[in-house]
Amino acid sequence: MKFIVSTSTLLHHLQTVAGVVVSKPVIPILETFLFDIKGGNLIVSASDLETSMTTSIKVEADEDVSIAVPSKLCMDILRTLPDQPITFSIETDSNSIEIHSGNGRYKLAGQPGADFPKIPEVESESSFSIKSEVLLNAIGKTVFATGNDELRLNLTGIYVELKNDNISFVATDANRLVRYARTDVAPGVETTFILPKKAANLLKSSLSDDDSTVKIDFNSSNAFFGFGDNTLVCRFIDERYPDYNAVIPKENPNTLLINRMEFLNSVKRISIVANKTTHQIRLKIAGSELTLSAEDFDASNEGLEKLSCDYTGEDIEIGFNSKFLMDMLNGMNTEMVKLELSTPNRAGVLLPQENEAGEDVLMLVMPMMLNNY
């Protein structure tokens, strides 16, 4: 059996699903792509049993076939070839694959397509549609705040809260929290689920930044994302998410208004001399002046910068993790940001001065205890 496809087209589609493949899987076949050809369509699938992704390509094929192809070898060969039509010859009896380029031939050992794990079919209880750029923005502004602690699985994903007339995406690692809400998306259903970080990152790298539509079907255990030629299926994290609203301080009498890029660049510079373990920087606000400082006593390094700001409230001195602050400031795109504070031992709330149409963004960061010197 043979099929012909362009190297650049095939490589682009393989790169879309390659993020699903794990390097040391439980079963060896998970290191492969499933090539399933039906009626001139090549459907490429990758799976790690929890997350699966498929993409389809039009090819010139003489018959239908299914075979598992070594993912790394196949992509390494395609990367080194110039853009040209290549021919795949597949022997299903021996599960061998030959790739014929303009002046070369490569033979790979495949595995029976029937042995590849079955990709879950869409069995949705509910569905809604969202613009690709909106979903991309929501994931980009929240996924960085998810946790990595496998003992707290519920914090390792994005909590998605669906209401009839709005949708919220929440992420926290217990030290920082991001809530990104859209009031211009109406799912028409009320439910919640936790989207795993791996699936979120795959969507982030695959979605287009345009107004094309992503269809989301879901049931109690899985979500199915359909966009363009691609489908992503993932199993939800079956854990209870904490009551995130309880940790957002309601009374913040001290408000700092400052240029986002000036603040971000200053934090970047000061963080260079901060302790490499704690990344702690100190913010001292008095009048219309913000003083940023950091010190690393072990290495005898220290730094200090002063910025002008618009501040309302009592003088305050508070410590934060500079990496968290930088992530949050990078996650916003407004010119001015507001930092709302109450006391040095309570969380600071970072907000855009003005939300964009349909958006409601709130970021929270826990303070660090200061050693006064």
pLDDT recorded at residue 102: 84
Q: Is residue 353 part of a domain?
A: yes
Q: Comparing 179 with 369, which gets the higher pLDDT?
A: 179
Q: Is residue 354 part of a domain?
A: yes
- Are residues 285 and 208 located together in one domain of the fold? no
Q: Is residue 183 part of a domain?
A: yes
- Are residues 253 and 241 located together in one domain of the fold? no
- What is the tens place of the pLDDT at every residue in 13-72? 999 999 999 988 889 999 999 999 998 899 999 999 999 999 999 998 888 899 999 999
- Are residues 229 and 260 located together in one domain of the fold? no
- What is the tens place of the pLDDT at every residue in 200-235? 999 999 999 999 999 999 998 999 999 999 999 999
- Are residues 90 and 42 located together in one domain of the fold? yes
DSSP 3-state assignment of 22?
Answer: coil
Q: Is residue 120 part of a domain?
A: no
Which residue is associated with the tokens 């995406």?
Answer: 169
* CA atoms of 78 and 86, how far apart (whole Å): 10
What residues make up the domain containing 266?
249-365
- Are residues 231 and 301 located together in one domain of the fold? no
Q: What average pLDDT is seen over the chain?
A: 93
As given in the structure block, the two tokens for residue 32 are 């492969």
- Are residues 224 and 152 located together in one domain of the fold? yes
DSSP 3-state assignment of 351?
Answer: strand
- Are residues 79 and 7 located together in one domain of the fold? yes
- What is the tens place of the pLDDT at every residue in 299-317? 789 999 999 999 999 999 9
**Long-range pairs, 304-308, Cβ under 8 A, ≥24:** 304/270, 305/266, 305/269, 305/270, 307/258, 307/262, 307/263, 307/266
- Are residues 91 and 187 located together in one domain of the fold? no
- State pTM to two decimals: 0.91
Give the ranges where the chain is alpha helix by DSSP (H): 7-18, 71-80, 132-140, 197-206, 260-271, 322-330
- Are residues 156 and 190 located together in one domain of the fold? yes
CATH code of the domain covering residue 350:
3.10.150.10
* CA atoms of 248 and 179, how far apart (whole Å): 10
DSSP 3-state assignment of 9?
Answer: helix
- pLDDT bin (cut points 50, 70, 90) of residue 373 is very low
- What is the tens place of the pLDDT at every residue in 113-167? 999 999 888 777 789 999 999 999 999 999 999 999 989 999 999 999 999 999 9
Q: How many folded domains does the chain comprise?
A: 3
- What is the tens place of the pLDDT at every residue in 345-362? 999 999 999 888 889 999
- Are residues 105 and 151 located together in one domain of the fold? no
- pLDDT bin (cut points 50, 70, 90) of residue 372 is low
- Are residues 63 and 151 located together in one domain of the fold? no
